[in-house]
């Protein structure tokens, strides 16, 4: 629920940044959303450790088998996540290339940050909705993590 709310707020702020009210949301809003996104990322890592997600060892380093986890995500959402990542980078680069008029710096900062936050909330949203239940079911069945 928190990831879905963060996604919706980030998308709303991103759309707001294209209007003349783009400077209304201050830096504190961006920082608060960033902290929530970071906490969700920590929760994802903790959940992966708890479920004992499959992985491989390479010397002393353990790597997650991300292909097994991506298998739980519907194909359309996989494309959405890749598209959101590409949009975040494109948005960032285009915002850097803008000649910002005086007084519009806050709106451009909001546009850059909220574009990235959309992606950073979409990943936990998909993880907690599809990947975590899939890993739990695979662990309960004692089988391979692939659906």
- Domain membership flag for residue 121: yes
Interior angle at CA 67, CA 63 and CA 70, nearest 5:
120
Tokens linked to 100? 């910002």
**Which of 105, 115, 129 minimizes the C-alpha distance to 10?**
115
State the pairing for strand pair 55-58/61-64.
antiparallel
Q: In total, how many domains does the chain have? A: 1
Q: What is the pLDDT along the chain (147 residues), one digit of tens a residue?
A: 999 999 999 999 999 988 888 778 888 999 999 999 999 999 998 888 787 666 666 666 667 777 778 889 999 999 999 999 999 999 999 999 988 888 778 888 899 999 999 999 999 999 999 988 888 887 787 755 544
- Domain membership flag for residue 53: yes
- Domain membership flag for residue 145: no
pTM of the model: 0.83
- Domain membership flag for residue 38: yes
Tokens linked to 122? 């979409």
Q: Which domain holds residue 66?
A: 2-132
């Amino acid at each position: 629920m928190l990831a879905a709310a963060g996604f919706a707020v980030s998308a709303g702020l991103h759309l707001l940044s294209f209007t003349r009210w783009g400077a209304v949301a201050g830096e504190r809003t961006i920082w608060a959303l960033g902290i929530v996104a970071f906490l969700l990322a920590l929760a994802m890592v903790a959940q992966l450790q708890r479920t004992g997600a499959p992985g491989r060892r390479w010397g002393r380093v353990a790597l997650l088998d991300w292909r097994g986890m991506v298998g739980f995500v519907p194909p359309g959402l996989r494309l959405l996540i890749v598209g959101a990542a590409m949009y975040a980078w494109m948005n960032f680069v285009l915002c850097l290339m803008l000649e910002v008029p005086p007084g519009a710096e806050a709106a451009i900062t909001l546009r850059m940050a909220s574009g990235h936050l959309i992606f950073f909330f979409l990943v936990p949203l998909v993880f907690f909705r599809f990947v975590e239940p899939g890993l739990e079911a695979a662990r309960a069945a004692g089988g391979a993590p692939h659906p």
